[in-house]
Structure 1
Amino acid sequence: MATSRKLRVMISSRCVDLFPGPGGTPLTDIRRELKKSIEAEKLFGAKAFEVWINEGAEALDHIENSWDACLKQVRDCDVLIVLFNGHAGWAKEAGDIGICHAEYIEGLNTSRSKVRLIELPTCAATSDVAQTDRNNRFKSFKQSESAFRGGIVPQDVPTLVKEVHKALVDAVLAQAREGGKGTGTLRSDLGAALEWNRLDFAGRREVMRHVVGDALGQRTGAQTAVVGVVLPIDHKPTLIKVDAVPAAFTIAAAREPMGRPHLQDHLSAHALQKVGGPVHLIACHRSVTENQATNLLGFPDATVVSSPFGIYVADEIQKMQFVFLANCRDPSQTRHAVQRFLDWLEQSGEGKYLAERAQARARIVKAIAQEQRQKA
């Protein structure tokens, strides 16, 4: 949460879209007007608010990209105002969620009580199929949530400004009553997360695997294979095998159907012609610890990296690699975890080393498969 003496407000919305009405006002102009009007308000003669919009943001540190910087602002703000016009925002790959969608999820996960959604007239349809899919995912997620929102704002800017002011007052009063508790963090009793919770372990494991596979399959250059998805990582085709733990990692009944997947790698040798891997990507319904990750590998002496997406484990001897995606409680959070892992590979430069290990693992796996055939 923010440490400023002022209440920090973040406005999340598209910038370049036009707000319907006479002449069509760019949302970026409205965002600037909202920042000015909110920061002008005083409480007992003292300025009480500061507003963050990316149009006025300072230059970012070189280690931050714009996606992570926006999500950090969501976590740090006291109130998040989401101006929803049906557009999920930009994303890097076809299967990703948009930045506006990601900001809304991050706000709900950080503290549900600080999020206020204002529904604008729906934006115009786009011919971009991938963007249409992102927009539909955002709309479905929004409809599944029981978040604060009023009716659709009429097509005039003064009414929109008033609605934002009303939402801000409501958020401040609500948080004052609750003492700033983040009681909504990672709730599983609403929306799509509740739908997944209604499933048995087998059903939930299947839908988790499907969402991860779909997210990977829509990446640029991806090819769906019988045993997984072949994804170009550092320009090298790499087989990603997908599985899921549909409950807490500590529950044996949820973990055991997956077994120790690396012990079966040789059965995928036929899919490794000119392809590296496999790399095992495991969606975890709840959190996952470094100890749990290394226990699945079988020994602790490995490269272990904890990150916002979950945990990455790599064995430098046998070249086995695991990616554990944490808190995959609904389709949106699962897609976001996939997205953040692949973004981390690029940002950290680890993609090069993952691809090299995968190429080496393929050679080891094919040698094991050859040995098994000779014994048969």
Structure 2
Amino acid sequence: MPDKKLRVMISSRCNDPFPEGGSPLSDLRRAAKRELEAVRLFGKPMFEVWINEDAPPGDAAGDSIDICLGQVDEADIVVVLSNGNAGWAAGASDIGICHAELMRGVATTAGKVRLVALPDIADNPKDPSQIARNARFREYLQTQNFFRGGSVRTRDDALERIREAVFDAVQSLARLGVREARKGKFHTGEALQWSSLNFRDRQALMVDTLADCFAARPGGKRAGNRVELPVAGKAVLFAVHAIPAALTIAAARELVGQPFLRDFEYEAALAAAAGPVHVIGCQKGATESQAIAMLGFPDATVVAAPFGVYAADPLQKVQFLFLQNCRDRTTTRFSAQRFFDWIDQSGEAAALLACAQSRRRIVKAIAGEQPSGSR
């Protein structure tokens, strides 16, 4: 079998000095490439490293941005060395090439991207368009809330952070691959057993599995299909439901309906928690249009994510998490894990909490208007 090396792309500026007044970043990039390509596992090379300094000329059909973004797509691991410089751009209002490479990696396969934060380089006061590009890039870095590891002051620090980034990427991607492999096929094993159940029994299993997954998180407390869980340091109530077939099947979808219409029934559970946030396990896929249809409000925040779809109504503060491919215990737990991975990586925990706190106030007001016998 031919050797298949892991492809690593190192993205950064080339000519900027590092440290300030020192040698260009190209020297650091070449040193990292030499070190990574020297790594052996059982005597075989592990990595092939792409840096544009050593790349052959590209074909005339594509410009430099196309070539670099193509390398981002092909890489197994992307290590971004960021000094706050967005890089070259053709137009004054365009984003820089370093900004574009990072954005492309995060948008397509965020799990393979690792950021090494170098000290920000000083802007050139004679180039206002570059200053504006750098400001956009730095704002993007802040909104993405990347984990940056230890501080970097010297060339040795930077090389150590690159080693750590690649090591962490190999470990995490291998574990992710194992979790994917464990899921197996859906026509055998437990997935087949779940598919053999009627809607009600399958729905009960899906709800029970998801509620257990959420309750197993640190600080989680379960009561039936309700789980109280800390989010951004505050308790949030998650209400767990399940659609035991494709969302296109009305009979399965109607088992859940629009659960937020009965949120006033959670009034007692909201004494010490914000929410509720509705978690809907979907046996198959979930789309943005299906999420909007269930929410019943088109002008909503809707995000397609690795776990499925997140939807929120900015007026009523209703929040839905559609966790897709909940076909057996393994795939269901994996979908829940992907949600928690997303909320950690995206920095959305504070926004989810704020929306849940607003929803609690709305629910309490609605509950106060209900006849005593209906509460």
| Band of TM-score, shorter chain | 0.5 to 0.7
After the TM superposition, which residues 166-315 of structure 1 pair with which residues of structure 2 at under 5 Å, given as runs?
187-315=185-313
Does structure 2 retain, via aligned residues, the 8 Å contact 1:325–1:338?
yes
Matched, 1:68 2:114: no
Q: Secondary structure at the match of 1:59?
A: strand
Paired residue for 1:32, among 41, 53, 61? 41
1:59 and 2:68 equivalent?
no
Deviates more, 1:365-374 or 1:269-278: 365-374
- C-alpha deviations, 1:168-220, integer Å up to 9, x for none? xxxxxxxxxxxxxxxxxxx4212221121111111111111111111101101
Q: Please state whether the residue corresponding to 1:193 is helix, strand or coil.
A: helix
Higher CA-based Rg: 2
Deviation, structure 1 residue 225: 2.7
TM-score, normalization: structure 1? Answer: 0.56
Gaps of 5+ in 1: 1-5, 11-29, 40-55, 71-89, 91-97, 109-140, 146-186
In structure 2, how many angstroms separate the alpha carbons of the residues matched to 1:232 and 1:242? 16
- Find the counterpart in structure 2 of residue 104 from structure 1: 178
Contact 1:227 1:268 in 2 (8 A): no
Residue 59 of structure 1 aligns to which amino acid in structure 2?
V
- Per-residue deviation, 1:100: 5.4
The within-5 A match list for 1:157-168 is none
Q: In structure 2, do the counterparts of structure 1 residues 302 and 37 end up closer, same or farther at CA, with 3 Å as the change threshold?
A: closer
Matched to 1:102, the amino acid is L
- 1:57 is displaced (CA, Å) by 6.4
**Alpha-carbon displacement from aligned partner over 1:283-313 (angstroms, at most 9, x marks no partner):** 1011111111111111211000001110000
Name stretches of at least 5 consecutive residues in structure 2 with no aligned partner.
7-38, 49-75, 82-101, 114-167
Whole-angstrom distance in 2 between the partners of 1:105 and 1:283: 18
| Equivalent pair of 2:222/2:228 in contact (CA under 8 Å) | yes
Q: Which sits farther off after the overlay, 318-327 or 335-344?
A: 335-344
| Kept in 1: contact 2:211–2:225 (CA 8 A) | no
Which amino acid in the other structure matches residue 343 of structure 2?
A: L
Question: What residue number does 1:86 align with?
Answer: none
The 1:206–1:58 alpha-carbon spacing in structure 2 relative to 1, beyond 3 Å, is same
Matched, 1:326 2:324: yes
Normalising by structure 2, we get a TM-score of 0.56
After superposition, give the CA deviation of every residue in 1:146-179 in whole Å (9 maximum; x if it has no partner). Answer: xxxxxxxxxxxxxxxxxxxxxxxxxxxxxxxxxx
Q: Percent of aligned positions with the same letter in both sequences?
A: 42
Conserved 8 A contact 1:102-1:336 = no
Instruction: Measure the CA separation in 1 of the matches of 2:322 and 2:343.
Output: 14
What is the RMSD of the two structures over their aligned residues, measured on CA atoms?
3.3
Q: Judging changes above 3 Å, is the alpha-carbon distance between structure 1 residues 33 and 349 closer, same or farther for their aligned structure 2 residues?
A: same
1:104 Cα offset (Å): 2.5
Cα distance in 2 for residues equivalent to 1:324 and 1:213: 14
TM-aligned CA distance change 1:202 to 1:227, over 3 Å: closer
